[in-house]
């Protein structure tokens, strides 16, 4: 991938072709595509091609160039990997989620090529995001009307890092402008919403085997699959 970043490709069952494509961005931890593996695999089982790139939030531009390069890479390579570029969904967790919403609200940063849908997981929208450098809530009121890209939000009700109210604020702001939006609220925390648990010793999230966490993560996987038209 451009910028020397690695990207994981999670394919659906053998024999499937022209399936929806999801580009899934990890959070603020530099080069943590592996953290998204449990969720990406669950989404792929729903019949979706899932691409998960590395990116670094500690770059001088906050990761913007790497995120946008992964978007262009995914669009260019989707068909060759068995995906349908016309059914392209952009998704992200935490910092990756607000970056994805930024693209939906400011498609001018990608030449006007907005995704078919966006899924944002456990993020906040009152601060500048990594793709546009502006806050999504500000973009809703401060820029010209843009295509109403459907937005799905997923946020754990036990999230103490980024409270669920952050997603409720965006849901309400989008709904007030008659934009299509759906909010799922599984009973889990910031890590559990992507089928992981935080490991303090490693200072990163790792896959969880907790039944409640896995159930919550499946809610997220199904939400992404629905946004892609597969559930």
35: which 2 tokens?
């953290």
For the chain, the domains span: 2-227
61-90 residue pLDDT tens: 999 999 999 999 999 999 999 999 889 999
18-36 residue pLDDT tens: 899 999 999 999 999 999 9
162-206 residue pLDDT tens: 999 999 999 999 999 999 999 999 999 999 999 999 999 999 999
Fold of 2-227: Rossmann fold (3.40.50)
Query: Cβ distance 55 to 100 under 8 Å?
Result: no
Is the pLDDT at 215 greater than 60, yes or no? yes
Average pLDDT of the segment spanning 36-64: 97
Is the pLDDT at 115 greater than 90, yes or no? yes
The whole-chain average pLDDT of the chain stands at: 94
- Tokens 């262009």, residue? 72
DSSP result, 66-113: HHHHHHHHHHHHTGGGTEEEEEEEEEEETHHHHHHHHHHH-GGGGTT-
DSSP result, 117-182: EEEEES---SS--TTTSS-HHHHHHHS-------EEEE--TT-SSS-THHHHHHHHHHHHTT--EE
> For residue 148, what pLDDT band results from cuts at 50, 70 and 90?
confident
Percent above pLDDT 70 for the chain:
96
Pick 15 or 94 by higher pLDDT: 94
Query: Cβ distance 36 to 46 under 8 Å?
Result: no
Reported pTM: 0.95
Angstrom distance (rounded) from CA 59 to CA 52:
19
């Amino acid at each position: 991938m451009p910028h020397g970043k690695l990207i994981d490709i999670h394919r659906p069952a053998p024999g499937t072709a022209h399936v929806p494509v999801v580009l899934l961005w990890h959070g603020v931890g530099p080069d943590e595509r592996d953290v998204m593996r449990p969720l990406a695999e669950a989404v792929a089982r729903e019949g979706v091609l899932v691409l998960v790139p590395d990116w670094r939030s500690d770059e001088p531009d906050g990761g913007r160039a790497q995120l946008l390069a992964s978007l262009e890479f995914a669009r260019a390579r989707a068909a060759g990997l068995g995906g349908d570029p016309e059914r392209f969904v952009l998704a992200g967790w935490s910092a990756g989620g607000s970056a994805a919403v930024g693209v939906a609200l400011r498609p001018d940063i990608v030449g006007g090529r907005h995704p078919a849908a966006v899924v944002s997981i456990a993020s906040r929208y009152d601060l500048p995001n990594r793709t546009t450098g502006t806050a999504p809530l500000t973009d809703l009121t401060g820029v010209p009307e843009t295509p109403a890209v459907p937005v799905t939000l997923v946020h754990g009700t036990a999230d103490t890092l980024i409270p669920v109210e952050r997603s409720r604020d965006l849901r309400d702001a989008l709904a007030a402008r008659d934009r299509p939006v759906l909010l799922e609220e599984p009973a889990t925390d910031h890590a559990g919403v992507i089928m992981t648990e935080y490991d303090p010793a490693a200072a990163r999230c790792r896959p969880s085997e907790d039944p409640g966490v896995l159930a919550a993560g499946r809610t997220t996987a199904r939400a992404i699959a629905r946004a892609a038209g597969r559930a």
